[in-house]
Amino acid sequence: MTAWLLRRLAASVAIVFAVVTFVFILIHLAPGDPCIVGTGEGIPDPEVCRSLVRQFGLDQPILVQYWRYLAELAHGNLGYSFALHRPVRDALADTLPFTLQLAGAALLIDFGLGLALGIYQALRLNRLPDVVLGNITLFVYSLPTFWLGLILLLLFGETLRLFPVGGAGDPILCPLVDSFYCLADRLWHMVLPAATLGLVGAAGTARFQRAAMLEVAQQDFVRTARAKGLPERRVVLRHQLRNALLSVITRFGLTLPFLLTGAVLVETIFAWPGMGRLTVDAILRRDYAVVTAAALIASALVVAGSLIADMLLGFADPRIRVRDDAFVDVVTA
Amino acid sequence: MLSAMPRRYELLPIVLAVVALGGCERRKLCNAPDCGTLVDAAIGEPGTLLPASTEEITARDVEEQLFLKLADVGMSMNTIGDEDFQPLLAQKWEWDGPLTLVFHIDPRARWHDGQPVTAVDVAFTFDAYNDSTVASPYRAQLKRIASVTARDSLAVVFRFRERYPEMFYDAVYHMRVLPAHLLRSVPRDQWRTAAFGRQPVGDGPYRFVSWQAGQAIELRADTTFFLGRPGIRRLIWQFTPDLGVAVTQLVADQVDVREQLVTPAMIDRVRTAPQVKLYPYAGNTYSYLAFNLRANGDTSKPHPIFGDREVRRALTMAVDRASLVKSTLGDIGKVPPGPMSSLLWIWDPEIRQLPHDTAQAARILNARGWRDHDGDGVRDRDGQPLAFRILVPSTSVLRRQYAQLLQEQYRVIGIHVEIDALEPGALQQRISSGRFDAAILSRANDPSPSSGITQTWTSAGIGGSNYTRYSSPEFDRLVDRAIGAASRNQAKQLWRAAMETINADAPAIFLYSPGNMAGIHGRVDNVQIRPDSWAALLRTWRIPPDRQIDRDRVEP
């Protein structure tokens, strides 16, 4: 297990490094000058531009810039944002918690609701609730996230006025989360964006879980458990569900990237001040340092999620746990 | 219990449940006559609130409240002479000879940390704006001011390099006076990232309170402000990345101000909200179909289509601009009589323009050899079809719509147009490097016609913002004379002649100038909007006590 973990950690670092390198080169090669892009369609004073470009080291060859970036990164410095006029570390420190809160809440909806629906459907196979829920989950799963977000915003925000239209908190009463009331306010503001992000995933998880439950239900050990006279509740929870969870754990690892990319759209629609919104703005303004740092953080999170999923799988499945050397092969097979 | 709770909060069981669990919170209520909270739905977050280092729109709106200019333009938008300017930091001024202007600072003016505002601050400000290390976007506008020096603690002397009608405008409009005692120690190459920019200390009607990154900036009225206590106590700029969401927030009564409703559809949506009032005001942008007069990607040769003045005139006459504006912008847009927005005082519908005349356009094209020789519906000459591509930014729905309408109007007279919607950065690079045929572009004007028109349409702007590479000695001469005209009337005549010259040469088709429409909560009274800056007169707005709602009474 330890050897496997070390190998995975080394591979993770390599993946993150490759992503950062790729993004760094790609964003620098993308057309557009950071000095000009942020100023609309006029050209700023060339001398002003030259001065700014010099101050931010953007007049150097790309390899020199890359080398400097790595050297700074090794010291924990993510650079200065050209557009935000502040250290990238500060900008990310302000936005990353919001993205993690949103992704966490969406993950809760995704797997909480998805698992419950999938199990419920499997236990009522081909009966009315299964058919109805099957169609509903298929419909929701096929919805584009941004469309669902807009519909929820217009329906529950503008028309019914049950939830706030954007933002992470009430700027009048709760500029900071410094009380229970403001914590509730934050949660209230999170309902629509988290639902947008989580519902589509929940529909997918439900279909996944239903299929897994049905597959396990055909296995000999489930039949044997029933034949032994175990109560149905015990058969379902102890034997069927536990084994059916394996495929959902794999899905958990795959969901994290989706949540982070989905957050980009959702954060824009709901004015959620997260890292996704920061990244989109940075791409549009050719804010190289922010884009590269955001890619670094996002890839690290995705790799970490995948690692956690693999470890959970190992803990959940004794067949994987016993063969230490073969751990990685079994997991990734 | 919460003493001041907006109505919408009462609807939410989750909030009530958690409040019940977590205990109740007591907030003070405001009962003063100036109680009031105004929330603006701002598109985009500024990078800094240091005026010398930014020209972002939201930053400018907030800085209007924090930092004073010496004086400012009046509602007339007259930038010539000094008679229409309103004193702010300067109590008075006088001319000491043709090239010397002396301002006397109001002795009551104070920085928000209690220090007096002095002539040294003004001289320091000019020095900073003029320092290439600071990289101020306004530096170019100050190039005709030779020096700014403090004569005594309250008198500051501006010396100009030459005499021209907009000397006073240049002296006061571009610079917001900065506190020398707080900024002198900050190295100039670190101004952009200086902590001051995120926690500014100003001298304006509002004091800085907080900046929640990605969320909001809050200001509070300075009750000791020397020009009078502001009418509304608390201002909040809530950041929203999307205009559609900002409009929804306004309709849902979660914000009080959205200063620009860009399309008729947005205005119609806001009309459905009974609590919101609409305020029209002049727009400061115009959009045009720019023709690249040099070959696509090779500036040494003329463009095979747009290099021909007569063909450009025909292309202009083939477009029914009035119907395009009507169908896209309804009543809020106008066809500009030249490269200008309706903000400019030179706007004059009587300026001569090429008429919409498709028959004449077809005759010109025939005469220039562009005929449909092979019967495929597209004109051609020497085997080359009359075809070109229009670039538009993919982010602008309106410009993409315009490109499609132009495509259709050109199809009717046998011109083939293709549309390339590009990401703004890619578009910018293509147009600035001359790798395009035509593009729909937009420009924003400040109140003076001088700088914008010079940069975008005269020979001096080639290599800069003059993307069409239009070069007309006659036009350049008229612009120069207009900028140096002795009186407003004379300047207006010269600007008119210049506009008629460029209209006749048709380096671009001036498509539309959208007017602005602000949606503002109906409880706000005394709303005055200056077209160049909607927030410039915010300190005079007020919310009468009998119209105050819950959010006005919440004590910060």
pLDDT digits (tens, 9 = 90+) for B298-325: 989 999 999 999 999 999 999 999 999 9
Phi-psi region of B375 (alpha: psi -120 to 50; beta: other; left: phi over 0): left
Measured between alpha carbons, how far is A131 from A141 in angstroms, rounded to an integer? 15
Q: Is the pLDDT of residue B62 over 90?
A: yes
Q: What is the pLDDT of residue B451?
A: 81
Strand runs labelled E in B461-522: 508-514, 516-521
Residues whose CB falls within 8 Å of the CB of residue B443, separated by 6 or more in sequence, listed in order: A41, A42, B285, B286, B287, B288, B339, B341, B452, B456, B465
Q: Measured between beta carbons, which residues in chain A are less than 8 angstroms from residue B270?
A: none
Neighbours of B145 (CB within 10 A): 21
Residue of B nearest to A98 (CA): B214
Render pLDDT for B80-123 as a digit per residue (tens, 0 to 9): 999 999 999 999 999 999 999 999 999 999 999 999 999 999 99
* Cβ within 8 Å of A, B 30-69: 37, 39, 44, 47-48, 53-55
| Residues 6 or more apart whose Cβ sits within 8 Å of residue B223 | B229
pLDDT for residue A176:
74
Among A37, A41, A190, the strongest candidate for a mutation testing the B interface, having the largest count of B CBs within 10 A, is A41
Cα B404 from chain centroid? 26
Chain A: closest CA distance from residue B533 (Å)? 17
Please list, residue by residue across B265-285, b when 16 or more beta carbons sit within 10 angstroms of its beta carbon and e when fewer do.
ebbebbeebeebeebebbbbb
Number of helices (H), then strands (E), belonging to chain B: the values are 16, 23
Whether the pLDDT of residue B2 is over 80: the answer is no
Contacts of B140 in chain A (CB under 8 A): 45, 48
The whole-chain average pLDDT of chain B stands at 91
Q: Return d(Cα B49, Cα B199) in angstroms, integer.
A: 8
Give the per-residue pLDDT at B27: 60
Give the pLDDT of residue A38: 55
Residues of chain A contacting residue B212, judged by C-beta atoms under 8 Å apart:
171, 175-176, 273
Higher pLDDT residue, B129 or B47?
B129
Q: Is B272 on the interface with A (CB under 8 A)?
A: no
Strands, E assignment, B292-446:
294-295, 298-302, 333-334, 380-381, 384-385, 387-393, 416-422, 438-444
Q: Is B3 on the interface with A (CB under 8 A)?
A: no
Interchain contact, B425 vs A30, CB within 8 Å: yes
Instruction: Return the structure tokens found at B416.
Output: 């083939």
Q: Measured between CB atoms, does B431 come within 8 Å of chain A?
A: yes
Going from the C-alpha of B468 to that of each of B296, B320, B513, the distances in angstroms are: 11, 22, 19
Chain A closest CA to B465's CA: distance in Å? 5
Q: Which residues of B touch A40 (CB under 8 A)?
A: 442, 444
What is the C-alpha to C-alpha distance for residues B332 and B239, in angstroms, rounded to an integer? 25
What is the pLDDT, as a whole number, of residue B7? 46
State the Cα–Cα distance between residues B145 and A167, nearest whole angstrom: 44
| H-run or E-run covering A224 | helix A220-227
Strands (E), B266-366: 276-281, 285-291, 294-295, 298-302, 333-334
> Is the Cα dihedral A27, A29, A31, A34 positive or negative?
positive
B555 vs B112 pLDDT, higher one: B112
- List per-block mean pLDDT (blocks of 10 residues) for chain A, which spans 333 residues: 83 90 88 66 65 81 90 90 88 92 93 93 91 93 91 90 89 80 92 94 92 90 89 86 83 78 85 90 88 90 84 76 48 41
Please tell me whether residue B462 adopts helix, strand or coil conformation: coil
Q: Which residues contact B22 (CB under 8 A, 6 or more apart)?
A: A179, A180, A181, A183, A184
d(CA B281, CA A126): 63
State the average pLDDT over residues B55-80.
93
Number of neighbouring beta carbons within 10 Å of residue B440: 26
**Distances in Å between the alpha carbon of A60 and those of A66, B6, B193?**
10, 54, 21
pLDDT band at B1 (very low <50, low <70, confident <90, very high): very low
What is the b/e burial string over A221-242, where b = at least 16 CB atoms within 10 angstroms of the residue's CB? ebeebbeeeeeeeebbeebbbe
CA distance from start to end of chain B: 17
> Which amino acid type is present at position B501?
T
Tell me if A181 sits within 8 A of A91, measured CB to CB.
no
A79: left (phi over 0), alpha (psi -120 to 50) or beta: left
β-strands B234-240, B37-43: how paired? parallel
The C-alpha atoms of residue B241 and residue B246 are separated, in whole angstroms, by: 8
User: CA-CA distances (angstroms) from residue A134 to A116, A217, A252, B466, B469?
Assistant: 13, 18, 21, 60, 62
In whole angstroms, what is the distance from residue B27 CA to residue B31 CA? 13
Instruction: Determine the residue type at A330.
Output: V
In whole angstroms, what is the distance from residue A273 CA to residue B308 CA? 51
**CB contact (8 A) between residue A274 and residue B431:** no
Q: Is the pLDDT of residue B5 over 70?
A: no
Answer whether B224 touches A (CB < 8 Å): no
For B233-249, what is the mean pLDDT? 92
pLDDT digits (tens, 9 = 90+) for A126-156: 899 999 999 999 999 999 988 999 999 999 9
Q: Is the pLDDT confidence value at B288 over 60?
A: yes
SS3 state at B422? strand
User: Closest chain B residue to A42 measured between Cα atoms?
Assistant: B465
The pair of structure tokens assigned to A87 is 């250290």
Q: What is the pLDDT of residue A58?
A: 84
- Token pair 């719509």 is at which residue? B401
pTM for the full predicted model: 0.86
